[in-house]
Structure 1
Amino acid sequence: MTDPTPAPGSASLATSVRSAVDEGFPAAVAELSRLVRIPSVSWPAFDPAHVSESAEAVAALLRETGVFELVDVRRAAVEDGSELGQPAVVAKRAARNGRPTVLLYAHHDVQPPGKDEDWETNPFEPTQRGDRLFGRGAADDKAGVMAHVGAIRAFAEAAGDFDLGLAVFIEGEEEWASRSFGNFLRENRDVLEADAIIVADSHNWDVETPAITVALRGAVAFNLRIDTLDHASHSGAYGGVVPDAMLAAVRLLGTMWDEAGTVAVAGLETAALDTPDYDTARMREEAGVLDGVGLIGRGSLLSRVWAQPSITVTGIDAPDVANASNTLLPSVRVRISARIAPGQDAGEAFEALRAHLEANAPFGAHLGFEGVDLGQPFLVDTSGWAVAETRAAMAEAWGVDPVDTGVGGSIPFIAELVEEFPGAQILVTGVEDPDTRAHSPNESLHLGVFKKALLAEALLFARLEARGA
């Protein structure tokens, strides 16, 4: 299976698939809306009953397709064995007559909504405005779930009793570090093993152009504690002589970037990736950069996001302004989130960050490192038959060839998929576009993108079914 040319008979199957997608799309949008109404936030501070409700709703949708021999809701222990992870949904239909098996991944849990006042609509009441459906999880990643369900349904309607093997894994804790992911893969290997894996949790180039994600940065995050005193002291009595922890923190954190905002930590690598041009005005608009504020870094815009490391301070434990007293702070704790280039080991990157911070601690400040989270980066092998067939299906559905893209964010579990299923080809696709605002207030899904992504996956199934082994 190296030539993506359609086999005889696939054209008529593709026509039937298109008709089934057209007829079933309103139902797919309605079912997506029902899923969005379930506030399935997987973070510990939120009610886990909603995640269970969401899992059962997804399982019901898969059962209703009528194509699976097994549909189940399962949990696995988190990596330290202290508790069970959130419920995930698995389904299986065995391949026949030499056809491959395709594993479909998405996640049904969502990010917290944030402040209600930052939303223009109720985050858990899906609201359509023009071509976009607004709501938490409308895109990330309940639309990924429904792209799989809708594609399966349309393909089964068009093909009848088909031979293609299908496995499904809809995770329930992707937004909370996928803590049981490795154990879940090992415990359910017989259900999930496949020749190709489609991860529907990424973005497209724009609303008219599909994308296959081929490069993902890794992640290194940790809490850094900076201590200079064993107790707080009056800033008037000792300020100017005694170094407080906030002063040490500000001086130390500033050493991680140069004057252009480029990462200045020895040992953090840059990947050799070719990146297309990207409009500066578009980048500024998408990110909401204020007038007069410049961009940071060096090199092409997309190389800074796809191929270079970045470091962000995402939180600081310190008195807020309302409670600020004239006191030298003895201790400050910050959360550091770094993205690392494809090709670099996450553990190696953490050690580089630790060495830099320890070498640059001002005034002899004491440092502590806690809560370390590591996620490996990933480079997709694009040479296999699965990528070729997916490119062809995307071009057929969208009317234009897909673009190979990188992602500045991280999907660490992909490295775990590769480790558990080394022979499987990995495909990272998605339903998002530059205006989706995943994780942010006013998250939305472009319904045109959703339909084309669903159609592309259904056409991929048709191509694999028609070609055989």
Structure 2
Amino acid sequence: MNARDPLLPVQPDEAATIGSFVEQVWDAELVPALTDYIGIPAKSPMFDAAWQQNGYIERVITDAARWVESRRIAGLKLEVIRLEGRTPVIFFDVPATRAGSTDTICLYGHLDKQPEFNGWRSDLGPWTPKYLDGLLYGRGGADDGYAVYAAITAIEALDRQGIARPRCVGLIETCEESGSYDLPAYLDALRPRLGNVGLVVCLDSGAGNYDQLWLTTSLRGMVSGVLKVEVLTEGVHSGDASGLVPSSFRILRQVLDRLEDSRTGRLLPEGFHCEIPADRIEQARAAAQILGDEVWKRYPWACGADGQTVLPTTTDPVEGLINRTWRPTLSVTGVDGFPAMKDAGNVLRPYTAFKLSLRLPPLVDGNQAAAALKTLLEDNAPYQAKVTFNADGRVGAAGATGWNAPSLAPWLEDALDAASNAHFGAPCGYIGQGGTIPLMSMLQQGFPAAQMMVCGVLGPKSNAHGPNEFLHVPYGKKLTAAVAQVMAACP
């Protein structure tokens, strides 16, 4: 095939061929590989302290590496890098096929998973994959074990047609669900090998619907950790002690009142808020026009006592999008110190502990917020109770900083629309996401001139981290083809 003019966009017939190739590979290769992947409980180190001994992370990274090396991509080199005492990463390097190209495309994903959680349908389970009506159920397929497989398939789709592209490198970690605390060490070690990164393609994000390509424009940061209140060294008879010994739960409620208005959910310290950029508000309005009430109706609401559906904090789609992407929010994700209901005797408990997840606006520094949160919760404890807050992560990385995307270069904006129209029949949508991907702020600091394509398959009801998580395979196919087309347009 003759060399192409790199300034020419992908032609419609080429886009169709890319789509056909990607669909074939997904059906023949990716769905089976991801089915095997889902069956492996490769929980992130935060949720599996014995991850090295258990060998599940080793297995998924070995399986993925073996699959990548089996693909027919000229010049592909892959290495599983293992820094001592840290989770491993896959690093692959594929030389450019475009003459004179000096930039590098960096593709990112992860292979570690969240824990099981409860509430799965009786016919489903976190480690029992099931493919039904285009949805591949099970933990981790969408978040985001598919990423390394889709990234390589996108490269292969271009190379099979002789469509020129820049050099591509891949960084696939196994610590993301624990806050990526191992990633900075790997970025430092790999920096000389990354080259001049002109485009980052992150496949760990979400979609507003399954009808078009969605570009993530921002990500929240996060501080998570355990807040513990201790009042006794052992439990005592509640009839004997209640009214004299203060309840650890009541003290914990008082401490949390410093942080959150329990009536509205607003975070009280102003330092946890930031000014929302005007362009992000406009993008939220545009996304709300597309999504409408699905912004809040997409969740599995329970029914109240009167049989009516529980209501969200707001039914305004614009406010809903801003709340979940640019405003800080507190969630309690775990609890300790409580016996199971069947074992709950009349005992005043010695302590109460909550696992807190504090989502931060994209422009708030995660480490500074972690330090401020610890001071706020621990100082001047009621009744001189022992109150401690221990953030997850490691020293110097107690919090994860969010990310606000740089302005789009004209070539990328055009390429996103062209790819979305070619493979979805609709233009690209723009949406902020409420989750956290620590790599993005790290890469933006290290490569401030790079463009960012943050996208993913986590659309409505895909329910990452929760029960009945699924990978929407038809969307995954179209996303992979769209990513390939955007990579071809990268200068």
Shared fold (TM-score, shorter chain, > 0.5): yes
The Cα shift of 1:406 comes to 0.9
1:288 and 2:301 aligned: yes
Q: 1:332 aligns with which of 349, 352, 377?
A: 352
Q: 2:399 aligns with which of 368, 371, 374?
A: 374
The one-letter amino acid of 1:267's match is G
The Cα shift of 1:248 comes to 1.2
- d(CA) in 1 for partners of 2:10 and 2:419? 12
After TM superposition, the structure 1 stretch with the greater mean CA deviation from structure 2, 454-463 or 337-346, is 454-463
For residues 364-393 of structure 1, what are the alpha-carbon distances to aligned partners after superposition, in whole Å with 9 as ceiling and x for unaligned?
434222234310011001332563233432
Q: TM-score, normalization: structure 1?
A: 0.87
Alignment partner, residue 110 of structure 2: 107
Q: What secondary structure, in the 3-state scheme, does the structure 1 residue paired with 2:449 have? A: coil
The one-letter amino acid of 2:299's match is E
Q: Counterparts of 1:66-465 in structure 2 under 5 Å?
A: 66-77=73-84, 83-85=85-87, 87-95=88-96, 97-99=99-101, 100-115=103-118, 118=121, 120-159=123-162, 162=164, 164-193=166-195, 194-229=197-232, 232-255=235-258, 256-272=260-276, 273-274=280-281, 275-276=284-285, 277=288, 279-280=292-293, 283-291=296-304, 292=308, 293-296=310-313, 300-320=319-339, 321-358=341-378, 361-372=381-392, 373-385=398-410, 387-388=412-413, 389-464=415-490
User: Is the alpha carbon distance of 1:22 and 1:266 closer, same or farther for their aligned partners in structure 2, counting shifts above 3 Å?
Assistant: closer
- d(CA) in 2 for partners of 1:192 and 1:376? 22
After TM superposition, the structure 1 stretch with the greater mean CA deviation from structure 2, 322-331 or 191-200, is 322-331
- d(CA) in 2 for partners of 1:163 and 1:298? 44
Structure 2: gaps of 5 or more residues: 393-397
The Cα shift of 1:117 comes to 5.8
After TM superposition, the structure 1 stretch with the greater mean CA deviation from structure 2, 333-342 or 391-400, is 391-400
After TM superposition, the structure 1 stretch with the greater mean CA deviation from structure 2, 219-228 or 38-47, is 38-47
Q: Are the equivalent residues in 1 in contact too, given 2:111–2:172 (CA < 8 A)?
A: yes
Q: Are the equivalent residues in 2 in contact too, given 1:214–1:404 (CA < 8 A)?
A: yes
User: Is the alpha carbon distance of 1:367 and 1:236 closer, same or farther for their aligned partners in structure 2, counting shifts above 3 Å?
Assistant: same
Alignment partner, residue 32 of structure 2: 30
Q: What secondary structure, in the 3-state scheme, does the structure 2 residue paired with 1:150 have? A: helix
1:59 and 2:74 aligned: no
The one-letter amino acid of 1:376's match is T
The Cα shift of 1:167 comes to 0.7
- d(CA) in 2 for partners of 1:330 and 1:68? 62
Q: Are the equivalent residues in 2 in contact too, given 1:36–1:126 (CA < 8 A)?
A: yes
Q: What secondary structure, in the 3-state scheme, does the structure 1 residue paired with 2:204 have? A: strand
The Cα shift of 1:351 comes to 4.0
- d(CA) in 1 for partners of 2:217 and 2:322? 13
Q: What secondary structure, in the 3-state scheme, does the structure 1 residue paired with 2:42 have? A: coil
Q: What secondary structure, in the 3-state scheme, does the structure 2 residue paired with 1:347 have? A: helix
For residues 102-122 of structure 1, what are the alpha-carbon distances to aligned partners after superposition, in whole Å with 9 as ceiling and x for unaligned?
111111222233459655224
| Aligned-residue RMSD, C-alpha | 2.8
For residues 224-279 of structure 1, what are the alpha-carbon distances to aligned partners after superposition, in whole Å with 9 as ceiling and x for unaligned?
22233455444323322332322212333245224223223342214414123354
User: Is the alpha carbon distance of 1:234 and 1:382 closer, same or farther for their aligned partners in structure 2, counting shifts above 3 Å?
Assistant: same
After TM superposition, the structure 1 stretch with the greater mean CA deviation from structure 2, 225-234 or 263-272, is 225-234
For residues 140-196 of structure 1, what are the alpha-carbon distances to aligned partners after superposition, in whole Å with 9 as ceiling and x for unaligned?
112222221221221111117x45211111212222332311111111223333221
The one-letter amino acid of 2:42's match is S
User: Is the alpha carbon distance of 1:396 and 1:382 closer, same or farther for their aligned partners in structure 2, counting shifts above 3 Å?
Assistant: farther
For residues 4-37 of structure 1, what are the alpha-carbon distances to aligned partners after superposition, in whole Å with 9 as ceiling and x for unaligned?
x994474254354234334434223333333334
The one-letter amino acid of 2:426's match is V
The Cα shift of 1:208 comes to 0.7
The Cα shift of 1:92 comes to 0.7
- d(CA) in 1 for partners of 2:293 and 2:19? 37
The one-letter amino acid of 2:25's match is G
The one-letter amino acid of 1:159's match is G
User: Is the alpha carbon distance of 1:101 and 1:223 closer, same or farther for their aligned partners in structure 2, counting shifts above 3 Å?
Assistant: same
- d(CA) in 2 for partners of 1:450 and 1:167? 21
Q: Are the equivalent residues in 2 in contact too, given 1:220–1:337 (CA < 8 A)?
A: yes
The one-letter amino acid of 1:98's match is G
Percent of aligned pairs with the same amino acid:
26
- d(CA) in 2 for partners of 1:232 and 1:339? 34
Q: Are the equivalent residues in 2 in contact too, given 1:265–1:352 (CA < 8 A)?
A: no
Q: Are the equivalent residues in 2 in contact too, given 1:209–1:403 (CA < 8 A)?
A: yes
Q: Are the equivalent residues in 1 in contact too, given 2:298–2:460 (CA < 8 A)?
A: no
User: Is the alpha carbon distance of 1:279 and 1:353 closer, same or farther for their aligned partners in structure 2, counting shifts above 3 Å?
Assistant: farther
The one-letter amino acid of 2:365's match is D
- d(CA) in 1 for partners of 2:150 and 2:73? 17
- d(CA) in 2 for partners of 1:294 and 1:362? 34
Q: Are the equivalent residues in 2 in contact too, given 1:13–1:159 (CA < 8 A)?
A: no
User: Is the alpha carbon distance of 1:419 and 1:386 closer, same or farther for their aligned partners in structure 2, counting shifts above 3 Å?
Assistant: farther
The Cα shift of 1:211 comes to 0.8
The Cα shift of 1:435 comes to 1.8
User: Is the alpha carbon distance of 1:245 and 1:201 closer, same or farther for their aligned partners in structure 2, counting shifts above 3 Å?
Assistant: same
- d(CA) in 2 for partners of 1:318 and 1:355? 23
